[in-house]
Amino acid sequence: MHFDYSFLGEYWPTYLRGAWHTLQLSFFGVILGTLLGVGFALLRISRVRLLQFLAMAYIEVIRGTPFMVQILIIHFGLTEFGIDLPPFMSAVVALTINSAAYMAEVFRAGIEAIDKGQTEAARSLGMTRGMTMRLIVLPQAFRSMLPAIGNEFIVIIKDSSLVSVIGIAELMYSARTVQGITYQPMEPLIAAAAGYFILTFTVSKLLGALERRLGSR
C-alpha cells in the first residue's frame, strides 16, 4: 500500500485554516460552557427545589441526546421559530450548551468536595452565602477541577469535527474538501487526524503546566 502526502504541499493552508477554526470553536465552547456550567451547578445545589429540577432536567436531556442532533436542531430547527443563526454561531451555541451540561456536574462535584468547615467559618465571620461561594468555595473548586476542565477542552476539540455538517470549514471539513479535490480517500483523513492529535497534545501539555504552576502556590 502506497501513501501519497504530496497534496500537503499545496493544501497545507487549508488544513491550517481548519485547525484555526477548530481552536476558535473549542475556545469559545469551553469558556462559555464553563461559565454556563457554573450557573447550572449552583442551581443544582440550590435550596429551591424548582431550580434544582430545572437544572437537572437540562443536564439529563443534553447528556442523553447525541451532539449531532443538538447541532442540527440549533442550526436548522430553530429556523421554525424565526431564529436563523450563522453556522459559526450555531456551532458555538451547540458546543456551549453541550459542554455546560458536563461542566455543571464537574463543578457540582468540586463544590461539594470542599470542606464544609470552611463555609461555616466564613459564615461565622459575617460573609453571606453568595460571598462565601464566590470568594472561598469556587476558587478552590476551580483549582481542583482544572484537570477536568482540560479534559473537556480536549473533548470539545474532537467533538468540533461534527460541526462540519453545517458547513463550517474546521479541520474535518478541510479534510473532506481535500478528499473531493484529490480523490484520495485515506491520506487527507490521516492528515486531519494528525492535526487533531497535535492540537489535543499541545493543549494537554499547556494545561498540565498550568496545573503544576497553580499546585506549587
83 within domain boundaries: yes
- The answer to the question of residue 35 being in a domain is yes
Asked if pLDDT for residue 2 goes beyond 80, the answer is no
> 32 with 92: CB under 8 angstroms?
yes
**Angle CA 214–33–169, to nearest 5:** 110
Cα separation, 195 vs 134, in Å, equals 38
Q: Is residue 208 part of a domain?
A: yes
pTM of the predicted structure, to 2 decimals: 0.84
Q: Answer yes or no: is 29 within a domain.
A: yes
pLDDT digits (tens, 9 = 90+) for 161-177: 888 888 887 888 888 89
Structural domain includes residue 10: no
Assess if residue 7 is contained within a domain: no
Tens of pLDDT, residue by residue over 28-85, are 998 999 889 989 988 988 888 999 999 999 999 999 999 999 999 999 999 988 889 9
- Please state, in angstroms and rounded to a whole number, the distance separating the CA atoms of residues 95 and 168: 13
Containing domain of residue 73, as a range?
15-215
> Is residue 175, in this structure, part of any structural domain at all?
yes
Which domain CATH number covers 100? 1.10.3720.10
Total number of domains constituting the chain: 1
Cell output for 87: 453556522
Residue 1 belongs to a domain = no
| 90-127 residue pLDDT tens | 999 999 999 999 999 888 887 777 777 767 776 677 77
Q: In which residue are the cell numbers 479541520 written? A: 171
Measured CA angle at 95 (ends 94, 101), to 5 deg: 95
Reported as a single tens digit per residue, the pLDDT across 40-56 is 988 988 888 999 999 99
